[in-house]
């Protein structure tokens, strides 16, 4: 029996948009539109502050996208004043919780952020801007929002041909809570932007993806105390669940055969904060259905469950 973590159910229920699993159990009639271009959001960064602002900042508000599908806010970042995030010069990245479904091109990004003061009357606006995105190039891209107080940078990549993956669960099968005794990290990339790290003798030490090209699903370092959020059954409480995945044909003569373009990386930290164990799996994306794979992490085994779905090109035609 498939168990969907309660935090994911809360996310989907709260999102003012279509489900990212709309076509998980069936495929749409028009695949040309439903497997087209989409955006993958890597990060939102407070690149600099100006004027009389000083680090750290306690930031709250909304960063969202509105695309042609339903024109609703697809939330990337949302914090209330009570739950404002501390942003420092050494760690200027906002803790993203979305998107709630894939973002399609021809959209508008909205950034409405405020800085918490000692009292509510001393709160002040940090930035309030909208940015119409109309780019059509499949590449890494950074959007800048700036005013007299700060500069915000949104890092993304546009995929030419894609589907959406919803990470339903990440669960420890073998090893127990001690696997992440000192915390850990779960991230993914698609397509992998792999870099080969070699030693002085030319031997391969590691094949990895630069952090700037990974979507971070969970990092215990972003939480107070640095503990890995996990329930008694071994399910990790992911921060983000939905990511766009690129489709690539592996053989020109068999276009239905796809490459393994989705990579999930899991790391366990040591007491000193270094990576004590690391494992990864590569998956072939699907137009629909559910995949379940096991990732070896040192002496532990971690189960990853993913729901695949084509895009909803427009809510008008549902």
Per-residue model confidence as pLDDT tens digits over 65-78: 999 898 899 999 99
- The domains of the chain are located at 6-15+161-316, 39-160
Mean pLDDT by 10 residues, the chain (318 residues): 48 62 86 84 94 93 94 95 96 96 94 96 96 81 93 95 96 87 95 70 68 95 90 95 91 67 95 94 95 95 97 77
Output the six-digit token pair for 139: 């590449």
Fold of the 39-160 domain: Immunoglobulin-like (2.60.40)
Q: Are 242 and 165 in contact (CB under 8 A)?
A: yes
Instruction: Say whether 39-160 and 6-15+161-316 share the same fold.
Output: yes
Output the six-digit token pair for 311: 């895009």
Start-to-end CA distance of the chain, whole Å, equals: 29
Q: What is the pLDDT of residue 122?
A: 96
Q: Are 277 and 300 in contact (CB under 8 A)?
A: yes
Q: What is the pLDDT of residue 198?
A: 63
Cα–Cα separations (whole angstroms), residue 122 to 16, 227, 231:
31, 33, 39
**Residue 164: which of 142, 132, 188 has the closest Cα?**
188
The whole-angstrom separation of Cα 225 and Cα 119 is: 26
Chain-centre distance of CA 226, in angstroms?
19
Q: What is the pLDDT of residue 13?
A: 41
Q: Are 97 and 78 in contact (CB under 8 A)?
A: yes
> What is 6-15+161-316's CATH number?
2.60.40
179-263-244-99 Cα dihedral, nearest 10 degrees: 20
52-55-59-64 Cα dihedral, nearest 10 degrees: 90
């Amino acid at each position: 029996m498939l168990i969907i973590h309660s935090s994911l159910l809360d996310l989907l229920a709260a999102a003012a948009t279509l489900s990212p699993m709309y076509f998980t159990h069936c495929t749409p009639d028009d695949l040309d539109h439903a497997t087209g271009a989409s955006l993958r959001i890597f990060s939102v960064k407070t690149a600099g502050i100006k004027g009389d602002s000083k680090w750290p900042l306690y930031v709250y508000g909304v960063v969202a996208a509105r695309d042609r599908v339903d024109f609703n806010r697809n939330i990337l970042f949302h914090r209330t004043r009570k739950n404002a995030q501390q942003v420092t010069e050494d760690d200027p990245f906002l803790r993203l919780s979305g998107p709630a479904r894939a973002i399609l091109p021809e959209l508008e990004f909205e950034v409405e952020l405020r800085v918490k003061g000692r009292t509510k009357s001393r709160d002040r606006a940090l930035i309030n801007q909208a940015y119409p995105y109309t780019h059509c190039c499949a590449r890494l891209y950074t959007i800048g929002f700036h005013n007299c107080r700060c500069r915000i940078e949104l890092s993304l990549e546009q995929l030419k041909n894609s589907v959406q993956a919803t990470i339903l669960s990440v669960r420890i099968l073998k090893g127990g809570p001690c696997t992440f005794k000192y915390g850990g990290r779960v991230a993914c990339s698609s397509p992998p932007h792999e870099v080969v790290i070699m030693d002085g003798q030319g031997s391969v030490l590691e094949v990895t993806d630069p952090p700037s090209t990974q979507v971070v699903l969970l990092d215990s370092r972003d939480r107070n105390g640095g503990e890995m959020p996990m329930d008694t059954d071994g399910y990790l409480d992911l921060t983000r669940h939905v990511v766009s995945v690129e489709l690539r044909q592996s053989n020109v003569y068999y276009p239905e055969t796809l490459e393994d373009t989705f990579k999930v990386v899991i790391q366990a930290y040591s007491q000193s904060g270094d990576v004590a164990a690391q494992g990864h799996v590569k998956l072939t994306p699907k137009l629909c259905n559910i995949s379940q794979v096991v990732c070896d992490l040192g002496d532990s085994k971690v189960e990853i469950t993913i729901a695949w779905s084509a895009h909803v090109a427009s809510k008008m035609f549902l």
